[in-house]
Chain A
Amino acid sequence: MKLPALNTPLRDLSEVDRREFFKAGGAVATVALSSGVTLMAFGGEASANADPGKRWGMLIDVNKCTSDCNACVTACSKENGWSAEEGSETDAQWIRKVDLTHKQTGREVSLPMMCQHCEDAPCVDVCPTEASFKRPDGIVLVDKHACIGCRFCMMACPYKARSFIHEPLTDQKSNAPRGQGTVESCTLCVHRVDAGGQPACVDACGTTGNGAMLFGDLNDPESDISKALKKFNSIGLRDDLRLNPGVRYSNL
């Protein structure tokens, strides 16, 4: 299957818009979490930026993704300021590469796993404080001000997409608020999306990776992702749960 080419000019546009976005500080809530660290919080403001007419999603062509490529993970880590030491059981991982071998056929594939941004997200359902929430455009986020660190969402997520911050943090990115004792996961690079761009992993996959990831508006029948989804077979992970994830995989 051949997915449509990525829209690379969009990336440059996003760089400009992002700068403008941050200049308009009123669009985000800020809070000093510790001395010298001021972070944006995902709260009602993050939802206010969402276009309810859109549903952001991603299509990943597993045939194009290779086991030796880690471009999406590296890009996400750099963009959002998290890092995971090899073998650490407590470090956060917003996105990871999973290598799979079919039990009966022996077929080997590799794919990126991250928050699947479900339409009926279990993490949102179980969160007692509404800290886990879904924006009108389908992006699932954690409000770092409301998260009490109960980890019920981590128990409820079928994709192991969430991480708990086990240690004090330093050198955070202003676009990716994080806090010790709270839960976090892939934000679909909401700061880039709101500025008209696309997630860092998708960008990296298109430039230094294998072009296996396609991002776009699932509600727009003219978008590249909608056309590809209409043309080619794809699945959502754990489709049996009927969560309608925003991330779909083809050739799996």
Chain B
Amino acid sequence: MDRAVYREMKLTPAVWGIAAVLGALIAAAGLAVLYIEHHGHVVTGMTNQIVWGLPHVFAIFLIVAASGALNVASIASVFGKIENKPMARFSGLLSLALLAGGLAVLVLDLGRPDRLLVTLTHANFKSIFAWNIYLYSGFFAVVGAYIYVQMARGMDPAVVKKVGTAAFVWRLALTTGTGSIFGWLVARPGYDAAIMAPMFIVMSFSFGLAFFLLTISLLYKLSGRYIGPNLVKRLGRLLGIFAAGVLYFSAVRHLTNLYAAEHWDVESFILFSGGFYTQLFWIGQVLIGGVIPMLLLFKHTDGANRGNVLIASVLIIIGGFAHIYGIVIGGQAFPLEIFPNYTASSSFFDGQINGYTPTLLEWALGLGGVAVTLLLTGLGVVALRILAMNLSDRNIDPEDVDF
């Protein structure tokens, strides 16, 4: 294989321009947070019915994508795919940046973000939230170490493999924790399903790889470096398999619910009568996020060419966002079933489908998280030798059957 040579990315005017836009987005998010904290969450679209809103959709999307962005590195270190090795450093960096962006949104949407340290002084280990705090912090440490051993001179490859395996196991635990936030909510008919945890893992594979493909393509274009078409094609095919996996888990989740009469009402809401949420599911998640990308990625005539892979990545991110929006907001829009067999009404909106319209403040906060991710990624590749000078197809093992 070619010897991978890593170099910092040069600061060109185009890079500065993008950094300025990201900086403005982060500043807007900062102002939104100050405004919300001063006036209270009444200035957002969130209510006592929809208690988690758009910021949580952004945060969960980024956190889920974070563990998935580590895939490329895991495939190299743990599963020995040599062609992925030159991308492994970037894979680690992007996963850390995604997690940082997601956590920033999550933390800044708290009612009392100033009390964040209380989570360390008063931990309740029966809470999956408390566990996640350690899973997220640990992820920074483990993946940080993983990047270090990859970059350190003269490091024994066996060590890289061991640390890479630890990072792989950790990322599985992390996404299990994120999925369990919803899977363990027994009170709400839209959640309360053990399949949430493995489904979130497959979602992370898909969203994370899509985000990886888009960012690495942009950075290589900005820095005038080369990525081999077969490398993109192979990652694209993998992305297609992950997208199919997400559809499979979603199908199993909904079919399992449809089998139980107690879940018919909520399933009917999501799949048929839920208006916006039904469209979000069929058009957003299934069509845009699943079927169309799979058609693009598995097209055999010209293979998954670069253009198709990038379009599919964008669609998977849009569909993934719709998927998480449907889980987070759709699950709350459907009312709690406190009184089975009764229709309920009250001044607190019992028995009603709850509406939610996010405000500009929530969009600003969420997009700020994405900007944090991209800016940190940019800082990483500018300051450190993360990106290989070229990602040649020559690194692909000729013995490896192209699927």
Interface of A toward B, CB cutoff 8 Å: 84, 86, 89-93, 96-104, 113, 122, 124-131, 146-152, 154-160, 163-168, 179-183, 237-238, 241
A89 touches B40 (CB 8 A): no
B338 touches A151 (CB 8 A): no
B359 within 8 A of A: no
B112 touches A89 (CB 8 A): no
A89 touches B346 (CB 8 A): no
B338 touches A102 (CB 8 A): no
Q: How far is the CB of B27 from chain A (nearest CB, A)?
A: 23
Contact stretch, chosen from B91-99, B185-193, B230-238, B386-394 = B185-193
Q: How far is the CB of B68 from chain A (nearest CB, A)?
A: 24
B188 touches A155 (CB 8 A): yes
Chain A, residue nearest B47 (CB): A89
Of the candidates A84, A86, A165, which one forms a contact with B40 in the assembled complex, judged by CB atoms under 8 Å apart? A165
- Known A-B contacts A90-B47, A151-B111, A166-B41; the reply to A159 vs B338 at CB < 8 A is yes
A125 touches B127 (CB 8 A): yes
B42 within 8 A of A: yes
Once the chains are docked, how many angstroms separate the CA of A183 from the CA of B110? 11
Once the chains are docked, how many angstroms separate the CA of A121 from the CA of B18? 49
A146 touches B118 (CB 8 A): yes
Once the chains are docked, how many angstroms separate the CA of A124 from the CA of B126? 9
CB neighbours of A150 from chain B (8 A): 110-111, 129
A86 touches B347 (CB 8 A): yes
Once the chains are docked, how many angstroms separate the CA of A86 from the CA of B343? 20
Of the candidates B127, B133, B188, B347, which one forms a contact with A84 in the assembled complex, judged by CB atoms under 8 Å apart? B347
Once the chains are docked, how many angstroms separate the CA of A164 from the CA of B40? 10
CB neighbours of B343 from chain A (8 A): 100-101, 103
B336 touches A158 (CB 8 A): yes
B341 touches A102 (CB 8 A): yes
- Known A-B contacts A96-B348, A159-B336; the reply to A152 vs B129 at CB < 8 A is yes
Once the chains are docked, how many angstroms separate the CA of A179 from the CA of B110? 13
CB neighbours of B122 from chain A (8 A): 129-131, 146
B123 within 8 A of A: yes
CB neighbours of A122 from chain B (8 A): 186-187
Once the chains are docked, how many angstroms separate the CA of A180 from the CA of B36? 11
A90 touches B110 (CB 8 A): no
The contact string, 1 if C-beta is below 8 Å from chain A, for chain B 20-56, is: 0000000000000000010111100011110110000
CB neighbours of A237 from chain B (8 A): 338-339
CB neighbours of B185 from chain A (8 A): 126, 155-156
Q: How far is the CB of A228 from chain B (nearest CB, A)?
A: 22
Once the chains are docked, how many angstroms separate the CA of A102 from the CA of B42? 35
The 5 A-B pairs at the shortest CB distance, nearest first, are namely A149-B111, A181-B111, A158-B187, A128-B129, A89-B47
B349 within 8 A of A: yes
B124 within 8 A of A: yes
Of the candidates A89, A168, A182, A238, which one forms a contact with B338 in the assembled complex, judged by CB atoms under 8 Å apart? A238
19 A-B contacts (beta carbon < 8 Å): A89-B49, A92-B48, A96-B347, A96-B348, A97-B347, A102-B342, A122-B186, A124-B126, A128-B133, A147-B115, A148-B110, A151-B52, A159-B338, A160-B338, A164-B41, A168-B39, A181-B110, A182-B111, A237-B338
Once the chains are docked, how many angstroms separate the CA of A168 from the CA of B186? 32
CB neighbours of B49 from chain A (8 A): 89
B338 touches A148 (CB 8 A): no
Q: How far is the CB of B34 from chain A (nearest CB, A)?
A: 13
For the complex, would chain B's binding face be called helix, strand, loop or mixed by DSSP majority? loop
Of the candidates B48, B111, B123, which one forms a contact with A89 in the assembled complex, judged by CB atoms under 8 Å apart? B48
For the complex, would chain A's binding face be called helix, strand, loop or mixed by DSSP majority? loop
CB neighbours of A238 from chain B (8 A): 187, 338
B338 touches A127 (CB 8 A): no
- Known A-B contacts A158-B336, A164-B51; the reply to A128 vs B341 at CB < 8 A is no
A99 touches B47 (CB 8 A): no
- Known A-B contacts A96-B347, A166-B40; the reply to A154 vs B51 at CB < 8 A is yes
CB neighbours of A128 from chain B (8 A): 119, 123-124, 127, 129-130, 133
Once the chains are docked, how many angstroms separate the CA of A181 from the CA of B46? 12
CB neighbours of B128 from chain A (8 A): 126
Once the chains are docked, how many angstroms separate the CA of A99 from the CA of B40? 31
A99 touches B110 (CB 8 A): no
B129 touches A99 (CB 8 A): no
Once the chains are docked, how many angstroms separate the CA of A179 from the CA of B111? 10
**Chain B 85-137 interface residues, beta-carbon cutoff 8 Å to A:** 110-113, 115-116, 118-119, 122-124, 126-130, 133
Q: Name which of A89, A124, A159, A164 has the most chain B CB atoms within 10 A of its CB.
A: A89
16 further A-B pairs in the complex, CB-CB below 8 A; given A148-B115, A149-B110, A181-B41: A93-B348, A96-B348, A103-B341, A103-B343, A113-B346, A124-B126, A125-B127, A148-B111, A148-B112, A155-B332, A158-B186, A167-B39, A168-B39, A180-B111, A181-B112, A237-B338
Once the chains are docked, how many angstroms separate the CA of A57 from the CA of B224? 71
A148 touches B127 (CB 8 A): no
The contact string, 1 if C-beta is below 8 Å from chain A, for chain B 171-208, is: 00000000001001111100000000000000000000
B342 touches A100 (CB 8 A): yes
B48 touches A163 (CB 8 A): yes
Once the chains are docked, how many angstroms separate the CA of A127 from the CA of B340? 27
B251 within 8 A of A: no
CB neighbours of B339 from chain A (8 A): 98, 100, 237
**Chain B 316-369 interface residues, beta-carbon cutoff 8 Å to A:** 332, 336, 338-339, 341-350
Of the candidates A99, A124, A147, which one forms a contact with B345 in the assembled complex, judged by CB atoms under 8 Å apart? A99
CB neighbours of B110 from chain A (8 A): 148-150, 181
